[in-house]
Chains A and B, each alone.
Chain A
């Protein structure tokens, strides 16, 4: 099997003045190239920290992770779209390129192509406040894709949107990811979203989060996330994961 990313025995402790908090405990995981893997866990567990560590923003306490390619480019997308309101859509989309000094003519053309492919070419010179939430999310994704990442890390990518836009944008994002063939690691607390988008769902326990179970998602007639929700296995997976998460309200 061709694994792009191998995580082995990663732990993360946060140290405050008073105590040491275990956020992540001994996570071992393989991410297959070209696949979508979603990590679900109740909110407040350290699942976002894992992405921060992989993105190189946060430090791990112990363990290792290795990419099969050398110098992997990592695309990290956060909960909010984090578009800069004083930049136009186009300027926002090439922000990563500018910062990494990769704003070559070729790369800029690539961004323009992405913007027009994803129906944003009429909005290139507009500002973020003129766009809908779903459109902004698409721009944020394009800003990440502009760097041509080997792996995408999505941290609750749709949680800021209302339910309807969420369904629509997860279809959009899914299509974009699949079309560009990018390996993707998603962190989410939405079980339905996880099942409908991914090839594999990893369930984490409560803090400190450990891997509780891994599900390979096999749906008959696998299509877009929205349609996947109608697959007959969907409910079965949903109930199992719901039980694993052990959510007490």
Chain B
């Protein structure tokens, strides 16, 4: 490699490092500034809390073991709702694709459901399914399922008509068309819908936990509000930020792995 290209690579690496350093600096400065304002009573420490108090709260929660229970509960609910959502979404999308009349009939209802703020259904779900994990899962499914169906179904519709014609000229059956063309060709859309789905699921789970739960990060936040312990609320939010970031990164990793094989 020429020295010029080495120089360019070096420059690119330097820019990358600079970006990372700036990002870390922003986080550190943000927390320092917050701590400072709270310490000097420039902002009300009871309402706005402070990073050190939040740290202590998280630390003691972790020590008693309570923290892991909350995280695991939220994680379990999210993964369960995510799995059910993707599976059901896939099956329903296939049904809609194979039965275009059905798709046309339910199209306006899907749109209606999609635009409805699902949280409005929360109290009703609570009464129907009872105050337990079930209603949290249902809440999350309400939010992620319709998006999944629409994404996967649109992926199916986007299949190259020429390839479809080719298989028809081979006299392929509907099942063969699905197996050899529709599903593999729309794999990319399906995989990228995973990312949207996981964010949606997390929203649904936290909303569900706000409404009913006895455990989970959503519960931690809502409990903190009820006892007016804002440090606890903010600890919950901070944990949630980290958790959702990690989950998102996991799905991105899976997406990358899956699309690499293609």
Which residues of A are interface residues toward B (Cβ below 8 A)? 52, 55-57, 74, 76, 78-80, 82, 84-86, 95-96, 98-100, 147
Q: Is the CB of B162 within 8 A of A82?
A: yes
Q: Given A55-B169, A56-B171, A76-B169 in contact, is the A99-B162 Cβ separation under 8 Å? A: no
Which residue of A52, A82, A86 has the most chain B CB atoms within 10 A of its CB atom? A82
* B180 contacts A by Cβ under 8 Å: yes
Sampled A-B contacts (25; CB under 8 Å): A56-B171, A57-B165, A76-B169, A78-B165, A78-B166, A78-B169, A80-B162, A82-B160, A82-B162, A82-B163, A82-B165, A82-B166, A84-B184, A86-B185, A86-B262, A95-B170, A95-B180, A96-B170, A98-B180, A99-B167, A99-B171, A99-B172, A99-B176, A99-B180, A100-B170
User: B166 to chain A: which residues have CB within 8 Å?
Assistant: 76, 78, 82
Q: Given A86-B184, A95-B180, A99-B180 in contact, is the A74-B169 Cβ separation under 8 Å? A: yes
Closest to B179 in A: A99
Which residues of B are interface residues toward A (Cβ below 8 A)? 160, 162-163, 165-172, 176, 180-181, 184-185, 187, 262
Q: Give 8 closest A-B pairs by Cβ, nearest first.
A: A76-B169, A99-B170, A99-B172, A82-B166, A82-B162, A96-B170, A82-B163, A55-B169
Q: Once the chains are docked, how many angstroms separate the CA of A79 from the CA of B169? A: 14
Q: Is the CB of B162 within 8 A of A84?
A: no
Beyond the given pairs A78-B169, A85-B262, A99-B180, 20 more chain A to chain B contacts, judged by CB atoms under 8 angstroms and listed by A's residue number, are A56-B169, A56-B171, A78-B162, A78-B165, A78-B166, A80-B162, A82-B162, A82-B163, A82-B166, A84-B163, A84-B180, A84-B181, A86-B184, A86-B185, A86-B262, A95-B170, A98-B180, A99-B167, A99-B172, A100-B171
User: A78 to chain B: which residues have CB within 8 Å?
Assistant: 162, 165-166, 169
User: A147 to chain B: which residues have CB within 8 Å?
Assistant: 170
Q: Once the chains are docked, how many angstroms separate the CA of A56 from the CA of B180? A: 20
Q: Once the chains are docked, how many angstroms separate the CA of A95 from the CA of B169? A: 12
Query: How far apart are B161's CB and chain A's nearest CB, in angstroms?
Result: 10
Which residue of B165, B169, B171, B172 has the most chain A CB atoms within 10 A of its CB atom? B169
User: A82 to chain B: which residues have CB within 8 Å?
Assistant: 160, 162-163, 165-166
Q: Given A84-B181, A86-B262 in contact, is the A57-B162 Cβ separation under 8 Å? A: no
User: A100 to chain B: which residues have CB within 8 Å?
Assistant: 170-171
User: B168 to chain A: which residues have CB within 8 Å?
Assistant: 57
Q: Once the chains are docked, how many angstroms separate the CA of A55 from the CA of B176? A: 18
Closest to A79 in B: B162
Closest to A100 in B: B170
Query: How far apart are B182's CB and chain A's nearest CB, in angstroms?
Result: 12
Query: How far apart are B178's CB and chain A's nearest CB, in angstroms?
Result: 12
Q: Once the chains are docked, how many angstroms separate the CA of A80 from the CA of B164? A: 12
User: A55 to chain B: which residues have CB within 8 Å?
Assistant: 169
Closest to B176 in A: A99
Query: How far apart are A147's CB and chain B's nearest CB, in angstroms?
Result: 8
Q: Once the chains are docked, how many angstroms separate the CA of A174 from the CA of B153? A: 41
Closest to A147 in B: B170
Query: How far apart are A18's CB and chain B's nearest CB, in angstroms?
Result: 19
Q: Once the chains are docked, how many angstroms separate the CA of A55 from the CA of B172? A: 13
User: A74 to chain B: which residues have CB within 8 Å?
Assistant: 169
User: B181 to chain A: which residues have CB within 8 Å?
Assistant: 84
User: B162 to chain A: which residues have CB within 8 Å?
Assistant: 78-80, 82
User: B262 to chain A: which residues have CB within 8 Å?
Assistant: 85-86
User: A95 to chain B: which residues have CB within 8 Å?
Assistant: 170, 180
Q: Once the chains are docked, how many angstroms separate the CA of A228 from the CA of B171? A: 37
Query: How far apart are B155's CB and chain A's nearest CB, in angstroms?
Result: 14
Which residue of B165, B168, B172 has the most chain A CB atoms within 10 A of its CB atom? B165
Q: Once the chains are docked, how many angstroms separate the CA of A133 from the CA of B82? A: 41
Query: How far apart are A111's CB and chain B's nearest CB, in angstroms?
Result: 14
Closest to A75 in B: B169
User: A96 to chain B: which residues have CB within 8 Å?
Assistant: 170
Closest to B173 in A: A99
Query: How far apart are A51's CB and chain B's nearest CB, in angstroms?
Result: 10
Closest to B164 in A: A82
User: B176 to chain A: which residues have CB within 8 Å?
Assistant: 99
Q: Once the chains are docked, how many angstroms separate the CA of A99 from the CA of B163? A: 13
Q: Once the chains are docked, how many angstroms separate the CA of A78 from the CA of B164? A: 11
Q: Once the chains are docked, how many angstroms separate the CA of A147 from the CA of B262? A: 27
Q: Once the chains are docked, how many angstroms separate the CA of A99 from the CA of B181? A: 11
Instruction: Select B169's contact among A57, A80, A86, beta carbons within 8 Å.
Output: A57
Q: Once the chains are docked, how many angstroms separate the CA of A147 from the CA of B169? A: 12
Query: How far apart are B201's CB and chain A's nearest CB, in angstroms?
Result: 28
Closest to B181 in A: A84
